[in-house]
Chain A
Amino acid sequence: ETLFHSRDRSDLAPSLLRRATPIADLFAAQRFLSKYGWADAPPGAGSAATVSRGPRPDRSREGPPGTALAAALREFQKVNALPASGELDAATLATMNRPRCGVPDPRSQLRAVSTAPRTPPSLLGRRPRTR
């Protein structure tokens, strides 16, 4: 059977209430960057492990990102093949909202993208068949 625990099987129904809070503003973006190793935690947001539960500062006081944050944004944009403006634009927000693994991205690793070993020369041939 498909596993359920409550008598009315309500826990089987998709939990519409439990959707990830979209990343839609600078503060959420900073939390994202901090959570995944791109920047330090925003002030007052606690450690990376708890970043998702810190109090949200007053939105009206949001201004342009600071230099450190802009630099982190720029690096994130670069690696994700986005225009490296350092600005929180729609494309960057969309990328941040994509499904992803919760393990952070060590930045030293990301620079390795261009140096990863390449496939050795091999004869052209048919596409590999499925398993």
Chain B
Amino acid sequence: PKRFLQILLPGPGWQPKNPPQGGGTQAFAKKTLTWRLVGEGYSSQLSVEDQRYIFRLAFRMWSEVTPLDFREDLTAPGATIDIKLGFGRGRHLGCPRVFDGSGQEFAHAWRLGDIHFDDDEHFTPPTSDKGISLLKVAVHEIGHVLGLPHTYRTGSIMQPNYIPQGPALELDWSDRKAIQKLYGSCEGSFDTAFDWIRTERNRRGDVMVRFSTYFFRKSWYWLYENRNNRTRYGDPIHILTGWHGVPAQSLDAFVHIWTWTRDERYFFKGNQYWRYDSDKDQAHAKDEQGKSYPKLISEGFPGIPSPLDTAFYDRRKQLIYFFKGSFVFAFDVNRNQVLDSYPKKMAEVFPAIEPQNHPFRSIDSAYYSYAHKSVFFLKGSLYWKVVNDADRQHQAWLPSNGLFPKQSISGKWFDVCDVHASTLNM
């Protein structure tokens, strides 16, 4: 009974702690929250597996845009579970709020994390276009439990009335910003980041060059949709799901040698490298001479140490810059050797524009972005942008390859968020 002291009711005297405009309040101060569909609250309309799957997906969708993780816990004592969900009809689950039968109120949420669904409603799985989508209602009620109030903003998942959804239920930009206002945005270091070039033919047969941006972390990755300023819906996913024949986790670097005569893509990890076949979407097993991959970096790129921190290919100079510790090695791909004057200190080749504002060593990734036509050095949750030609046209005094002061990665690439490992393969 104590748990139901207060439905999410901004009653008299109750004021949100920090009521930003359109706000809400942070409801949980921890990063990983547990949830459970309570045994006495199963719906009679869908199989238990379906119900649990839909709730797992609903929690994952919030996890994809916040630093929060959600873990289904079937064993811990009920009182320790952060969010408990259940179905009921009329008077239900010890709740003082009586459901009204089918129509009108279809669910409600309590501040301490209980979510109840009116089992007299016709709840349906995401694949159905009939009835009331349980996924949509679950995402809405979880939004409440996390601290978001109702809004009448078109397109928001937090609208009070049920609006039948098209095939793609997703959290829109404003919902993402609202929940990030309460829990912050996602931070974290990446193993590597790169743009992947695709050549396609349009209807007239012209070759079009497109690119997608990828961020890799541990054993999962995101595709970042630059045009939409967010990651692809449903990411992150396992590396092995999308990339075949490369290591399953902790890649060090990706390099794409792209000239008029060469189009070679390499992944690096430890002291080995793999070549990737873009057309067949898998790593090469052997090279043209029949030698098998992976190969030793020392053999394919003489003079380059390993393991590497990262690397990127400079198309104009036709050089690969390999980074290790505080040093950088410039590798000439045409002569297949390190330039005589290298290795050099990274701070010497890429000087700081603002004194001391420099990563100095052990960067996570050196990433050339076609969207921004710039190289970025990523380290932890920060990035340093390298001066490009456009910068120098506006400010000629800028040093060649200078580094602009650091900025937050999450302020430029949005919603690159982890999800709980148990939901990675959803």
Contact = CB atoms under 8 A, between A and B. Distances in A.
- 3 A-B pairs closest in CB distance: A112-B22, A102-B108, A18-B101
B366 to A, nearest CB: 25
B270 interface: no
Contact of B151 (A15, A113, A129, A130): A113
A118 to B, nearest CB: 7
A125 to B, nearest CB: 4
Contacts of B137: 101
Nearest to A4: B44
A115 interface: yes
Contacts of B140: 101
Interface stretch (B7-15, B27-35, B66-74, B260-268): B7-15
A103 B10 CA distance: 10
Interface in A2-18: 2-4, 11-12, 14-15, 17-18
Given A109-B22, A122-B227, A100 B42 contact: no
Interface string B133-171: 000010011001000011111001000111000011010
Interface in B90-131: 90, 96-98, 100-109, 120-122
Given A103-B144, A106-B10, 19 more contacts: A15-B89, A15-B101, A18-B120, A20-B102, A22-B103, A37-B9, A95-B161, A99-B103, A100-B104, A100-B160, A102-B7, A103-B108, A104-B150, A110-B150, A110-B152, A116-B156, A122-B228, A122-B229, A128-B228
A73 interface: no
Interface string B48-62: 100000000000000
A19 B101 contact: yes
B44 A103 contact: no
A105 B152 CA distance: 9
B369 to A, nearest CB: 14
B106 A100 contact: yes
A1 B47 CA distance: 6
B233 A123 contact: no
Interface of B: 7-11, 19, 21-24, 42-48, 89-90, 96-98, 100-109, 120-122, 132, 137, 140-141, 144, 149-153, 156, 160-162, 167-168, 170, 172-174, 177-178, 225-229, 233-234
A40 B233 CA distance: 42
B373 to A, nearest CB: 15
28 contacts: A3-B48, A12-B44, A17-B101, A18-B101, A18-B120, A19-B102, A20-B102, A20-B104, A49-B7, A98-B162, A99-B106, A100-B106, A100-B161, A101-B108, A101-B137, A101-B144, A102-B107, A104-B9, A104-B150, A105-B160, A108-B10, A110-B152, A116-B22, A117-B177, A118-B173, A129-B168, A131-B168, A131-B233
A48 B226 CA distance: 47
A52 B356 CA distance: 66
B7 A21 contact: no
Interface centre among A80, A102, A104, A123 (most CB of B within 10 A): A102
A68 interface: no
A60 interface: no
A105 B177 CA distance: 20
Contacts, number: 172
Contacts of B233: 128-131
Contacts of B108: 101-103
User: What is the size category of the interface that chain A forms with chain B?
Assistant: 35 or more
Given A3-B48, A101-B150, A131 B106 contact: no
B105 A102 contact: yes
Nearest to A48: B9
A37 B170 CA distance: 28
A27 B8 CA distance: 24
B227 A101 contact: no
B235 to A, nearest CB: 9
A52 B108 CA distance: 15
A110 B174 CA distance: 14
A120 B190 CA distance: 25
Contact of A18 (B46, B89, B109, B132): B89
Contacts of B47: 1-2
Contacts of B48: 3
A103 B7 contact: yes
Contacts of B234: 131
A13 to B, nearest CB: 10
Nearest to B96: A49
Contact of B121 (A17, A99, A117): A99
A21 B100 contact: yes
A109 B150 contact: yes
Contacts of B101: 15, 17-21
A101 B90 contact: no
B104 A106 contact: no
B10 A125 contact: no
A20 B100 contact: yes
Nearest to B118: A102
